[in-house]
Amino acid sequence: MSDEQHTSGIEALADEQRTFPPSEDFKKTALTVGTEMYDEAAQDDEAFWARQATELVSWSKPWDTVLDWQLPDAKWFVGGELNVSYNCIDRHVEAGKGDKVAFHWEGEPGDTRTITYAELLDEVSQFANVLKGLGVEQGDRVNIYMPMIPEAAVAMLACARIGAPHSVVFGGFSSQSLADRIDDAQAKVLITADGGYRRGEVFPLKPAADEACEASSSIEHVVVVKRGGNDVAWVDGRDHWYHELMEGASTECAPEPMDSEDLLFLLYTSGTTGTPKGIMHTTGGYITHTTFTHKYVFDLKPETDIFWCTADVGWITGHSYIVYGPLSNGCTQVMYEGVPNHPGNDRFWEIIEKYQVSIFYTAPTAIRTFMKWGAEEPAKHDLSSLRVLGTVGEPINPEAWIWYHENIGGGNCPIVDTWWQTETGGIMISPLPGATTTKPGSATFPLPGVTAKLVDDEANEVDNGGGYLTLTRPWPGMLRGIWGDPERFRDTYWSRFPDRYFAGDGAKLDDDGYLWLLGRVDDVMNVSGHRISTTEVESALVSHPAVAEAAVVGADDATTGQAVMAYVILRGGADVGVEDLRSHVASEIGAIAKPKAIFITPDLPKTRSGKIMRRLLRDVAEGRNIGDTTTLADSSIVDELQAKAAAAA
Ligand code: ATP
Ligand code: MG
């Protein structure tokens, strides 16, 4: 070990210098071009959020107190009443925008559905009545396990309309994962589908839903949307077809006025680091936060923009930026059911061209896949309708950022790299596209009204270099707890540093005060006493023209403590020697970060939301049996990597 002390937790190695100021053209129509909002929020963040809540959200009863903050419990807009489905639908219809398209839905086989705000209001009201008819009362939990079809959004909004918190479980999860989540929430009703489309085939959902009901104890009714047309088993009395229940349901259902702090939904985290946590989100603060961030981060012009977020509604990104934020802002969206490579690798670009999408929000994992497939795929389509691009989910490697900027954005769309979590409810750190000069790989600055600070191991604030990312002030979309486990809430988020929310991620501040997310602190490697972030080594690898994607972990090593091990996916058609890649890392960020071993692989273990699972790669690299893989998307790749590691040892 070196005797040097690295109390700031993580060393900063990479030095990305490229900058991208917003163009004069973009600034002409941008919602924000200067620092006024930052200045206003810095003066008084509570007053700032209160202004957003007044301007962007409709309340049936005004609040008495903006914020009641008794660490770790925050209450926002205390005493206020509102209904989230009213905010997402009724108020737009009342304002004469009933004929405006809410969703252009595109099924994977190519079938489509166009839903206006007026139609959405009818369908949500009908389904809210259906739920009431099944005995769902205010406060009862409802589980949703659906493909990406409009009924998923309808079900969520119907729950919000009657004040029944939903718990959406991603349709790719197994019956056991669903059963665990049903039991944890003690849900009364499950809404599912016979099946959905994925890669040209129907994947059945109903069998898993049936198994989950068997394996759990609380479900009284199951509502089934017909989508796949596949055969399903049926339990009389328990199971109901959605279309049959809807036939007799009235389109009149008054939105229930809810307390600002009533539970809106539960959502379990992706499970990248361990067992998922049932995150609680409430009403007034959450809708304020998502409406505000959706509007300003994407520079939204609801009259003209077509917004497309490619996430699944089963993740927080789908909750906040397919359902709640965009609908509350009254904009038109694209919603797509399937995978990006059906029938061809250009499906996303075809959809952008077809619907003239102007704002596109996706994940770095998808961008790296597109890089692997090659720039000729987007080049087949006219993407000139695009004006803002966004990313979320993982740090974006600078080279992937540049690829996205050039090949999707045509070199002239600002990119907003948005850092946030299931727990934060909405975006926290991100550029504002008309105001911020971006740097590839940096999420730049906390949004107005958000206070993020880096600290070292002793909780001293760090204003240059690497540290732990903490949040020092409550924000409206903040989680209100972990369902049924207040102690885990306190331990997980509030115990590492006194009086601070610790998010689990590391970051660095550069000389200009830009924030660079460095991945999870659990993933930080310790090589001869140097604390190195996996993200920076991965980005150095991805900056090699032959590399599409890389995952790096620290494995036990007798001489250096930990050694850098890398797994690399090459770009389509590329070939490169492992030695070349090792020297490339050394020249990009330094010899200390040079991987001891590099494995070329066709794939990497990822969670079902597409995040690299380094925990498993570390197990593989250290020759251990891998632990819990329930949140893994495809476990066969782990066997392959284990075989490779064994052969190399
Ligand atoms: P679990 O908490 O169960 O392990 P998870 O953290 O993957 O799962 P999410 O809430 O979906 O669950 O993901 C939030 C995490 O995603 C953040 O803590 C961060 O590590 C990562 N992340 C999200 N956006 C960004 C971004 N723009 N840059 C860097 N990292 C990001
Ligand atoms: Mg997490």
Burial class (CB in 10 A: 0-12, 13-18, 19+), 526: middle
More confident residue, 610 or 494: 494
Residue 374 marked ligand-binding: no
Biggest CA pair distance of the chain: 75
Check whether 272 has a pLDDT greater than 90: no
Percent of the chain at pLDDT above 70? 98
CB of 443 closer than 6 angstroms to any ligand 1 atom: yes
pLDDT at 5: 40
Residue in 71, 125, 104 with CA at minimum distance from that of residue 336: 104
Residue nearest to atom 3 of ligand 1 (CA): 271
> Which 3 state secondary structure label does DSSP give 445?
coil
Distances (CA, A) of 134 to 222, 257, 644: 10, 21, 53
pLDDT at 636: 82
Q: Cα–Cα distance between 128 and 475 in angstroms, integer?
A: 30
Residue 73 marked ligand-binding: no
* Site to substitute for ligand 1 among 419, 424, 445, 616, most atoms within 8 A of C-beta: 419
Distances (CA, A) of 387 to 7, 120, 327, 391: 42, 27, 20, 14
Confidence of residue 194 (pLDDT cuts 50, 70, 90): very high
260-264, 319-323, 635-639 — which is least confidently predicted? 635-639
Query: Closest ligand 1 atom to the C-alpha of 391?
Result: 27
b or e along 28-67 (b: 16 or more beta carbons within 10 Å of the residue's beta carbon)?
eebbbbeeebbeebeeebbebbbbbbeebbebeeebeebb
pLDDT in tens, 120-140: 999 999 999 999 999 999 999
Whether 143 contacts 254, CB under 8 Å: no
d(CA 611, ligand 2 centre) in Å? 11
Distances (CA, A) of 460 to 233, 477, 497, 515: 59, 26, 10, 17
d(CA 276, ligand 1 centre) in Å? 12
**Residue 93 per-residue DSSP state:** I
Residue nearest to atom 29 of ligand 1 (CA): 395
Residue nearest to atom 14 of ligand 1 (CA): 421
Confidence of residue 6 (pLDDT cuts 50, 70, 90): very low
CB of 503 closer than 6 angstroms to any ligand 1 atom: yes
pLDDT at 638: 81
Q: Cα–Cα distance between 341 and 200 in angstroms, integer?
A: 10
**Paired sense of beta strands 530-532 and 525-527, if any:** antiparallel
Q: Cα–Cα distance between 378 and 146 in angstroms, integer?
A: 29
CB of 393 closer than 6 angstroms to any ligand 1 atom: yes
Check whether 195 has a pLDDT greater than 70: yes
Q: In sequence order, what are the beta bridge partners of 193?
A: 225
Which residue is listed with tokens 């008495």? Answer: 64
pLDDT at 637: 80
pLDDT at 7: 44
b or e along 304-328 (b: 16 or more beta carbons within 10 Å of the residue's beta carbon)?
ebbbbbbbbbbbbbbbbbbbbbbbb
Give the angle 601-606-612 at the CA atoms, nearest 5°. Answer: 80
Cβ neighbors of 617 (< 8 A, separation 6 or more) are 551, 553, 565, 567, 604, 605, 641
Tally of CB atoms within 10 A around 600: 17
Q: Cα–Cα distance between 196 and 209 in angstroms, integer?
A: 13
Structure ipTM: 0.99
**Paired sense of beta strands 332-336 and 189-193, if any:** unpaired
pLDDT in tens, 443-488: 999 999 999 999 999 999 999 999 999 999 999 999 999 999 999 9
More confident residue, 327 or 2: 327
pLDDT at 649: 64
pLDDT, the chain, mean: 94
| Residue 394, both tokens | 């993982």
pLDDT in tens, 320-378: 999 999 999 999 999 999 999 999 999 999 999 999 999 999 999 999 999 999 999 99
> Which 3 state secondary structure label does DSSP give 99?
coil
Whether 565 contacts 38, CB under 8 Å: no
Containing H/E element for 63?
A: none
d(CA 204, ligand 2 centre) in Å? 29
Q: Output the DSSP codes for 477-513.
A: T---EETT-HHHHHHHHHSSSTTSEEEEEEEEE-TT-
Please give the model's pTM, rounded to 2 decimal places: 0.95
Burial class (CB in 10 A: 0-12, 13-18, 19+), 503: buried
Residue in 415, 197, 382, 216 with CA at minimum distance from that of residue 299: 415
CB of 422 closer than 6 angstroms to any ligand 1 atom: yes
pLDDT at 499: 92
CB of 419 closer than 6 angstroms to any ligand 1 atom: yes
Check whether 228 has a pLDDT greater than 70: yes
Check whether 1 has a pLDDT greater than 50: no
* Site to substitute for ligand 1 among 315, 416, 422, most atoms within 8 A of C-beta: 422
Query: Closest ligand 1 atom to the C-alpha of 423?
Result: 10
Check whether 633 has a pLDDT greater than 90: no
Our measurement of the distance from residue 282's CA atom to the centroid of its chain's CA atoms, rounded to an integer in Å, reads 18
Confidence of residue 13 (pLDDT cuts 50, 70, 90): confident
d(CA 338, ligand 2 centre) in Å? 26
Phi, psi of 116 (to 5 degrees): -85, 170
Confidence of residue 634 (pLDDT cuts 50, 70, 90): confident
pLDDT in tens, 548-571: 999 999 999 999 999 999 999 999
Distances (CA, A) of 20 to 16, 180, 297, 444, 618: 12, 46, 16, 12, 36
Check whether 14 has a pLDDT greater than 50: yes
* Site to substitute for ligand 1 among 181, 267, 272, 362, most atoms within 8 A of C-beta: 272
d(CA 277, ligand 2 centre) in Å? 9
| Residue 225, both tokens | 């949307």
Mean pLDDT value of segment 423-436: 98
